[in-house]
A = this chain, B = another copy of it.
Amino acid sequence: MSEPYRLFYWPFLPGRGEFIRLLLEDVGAAYVDVARLPEADGGGIASIMPLIRGEVDGIPPLAPPILQVGDQYICQVANVCQFLGQQHGLVPSDTLGALHANQLQLTVADLLAEIHDTHHPVAHMAYYEDQKVEAKRRASHFLERRMPKFVGYFERILVKNGGPWLLGESFTYVDLSIAFVLTGLEYAFPLSFGAYKAQIPRLMVLKAAVEARPRIAAYLASERRLGFTERGIFRHYPELDTLPAEASRGSR
């Protein structure tokens, strides 16, 4: 790669773009976070719109994040991570290991979709305020049943393989991704995730180890890193953050 990668993602939230940013940062790849440039320099949301209108050669992207590589565009987080992981040595070199990395990344994606739907259970394109009642019910179910199912699965993998990473001895892009999701859960559900995290000690060690990687630590301390806001996937609405005991009284 002589040219830097160009990443297109909403400039005001970490969101799904963060999985790709963390990977690019960890491998020290040159990239431009295009929509965060001023509009006068070709940035802003205006830079994304032609792409999602399909004004590109070949298969158009459906939604950001979108990675431009040369004159081509690829999207879908797990797809972009798999590509970048292969380019930069963040996937196991054996076929089975690469398949399992992709498998775990897709499970992270499933978890992420469920996190999103805690605040948007009935209408993705409507406001949270118009689905608060349903959100309360879905968030309770998520915290009581789905978070332990998904997050507990990743913990069991570490118990089984002895760590330190999800693929064992090989550090992969999946470790970056799960660390980010844990950070997001901590932000969105400080009370209930705070109570739950005693049950996932190995994952919490993994998260700390990811955050201590020199390039990740530098990134997290930089202005390139965007904070969470209530416009993103991870939103902190105190009314949704109930402890499992409370949650179980509100759902079946």
Verify if A107 is at the interface (C-beta below 8 Å from B).
yes
Among B109, B123, B153, point to the contact of A138 (Cβ < 8 A). Answer: B123
- Nearest to A139 among chain B residues (CB) is B122
CB <8 Å contact, B59 and A123: no
Give the residues from 153 to 173 in chain A that come closer than 8 angstroms, CB to CB, to chain B. 153, 156-157, 160-161, 167
Interface size on A, residues (CB 8 A): 49
Verify if A121 is at the interface (C-beta below 8 Å from B).
yes
- Complex CA gap A125/B153 in Å reads 17
- Nearest to A252 among chain B residues (CB) is B126
CB <8 Å contact, B251 and A126: yes
Verify if A199 is at the interface (C-beta below 8 Å from B).
no
* A121-135 interface code vs B (CB 8 A; 1 in, 0 out): 111111000100010
CB <8 Å contact, B60 and A160: yes
Copies of the polypeptide in the assembly = 2
Residues of B contacting A153 with CB < 8 Å? 60, 62
Which of the candidate stretches A3-11, A71-79, A180-188 sits at the interface with the other chain?
A71-79
CB <8 Å contact, B76 and A103: yes
List 14 other contacts, CB 8 Å, given A54-B156, A76-B107. A58-B96, A59-B157, A60-B156, A61-B103, A74-B103, A79-B102, A82-B102, A83-B99, A113-B113, A123-B145, A123-B252, A126-B252, A130-B252, A134-B134
Given contacts A60-B156, A117-B117, contact A122 B134 (CB under 8 A): yes
- Complex CA gap A78/B83 in Å reads 15
Residues of B contacting A76 with CB < 8 Å? 102-103, 106-107
CB <8 Å contact, B60 and A157: yes
* A42-85 interface code vs B (CB 8 A; 1 in, 0 out): 00000000000010001111100000000010111011001100
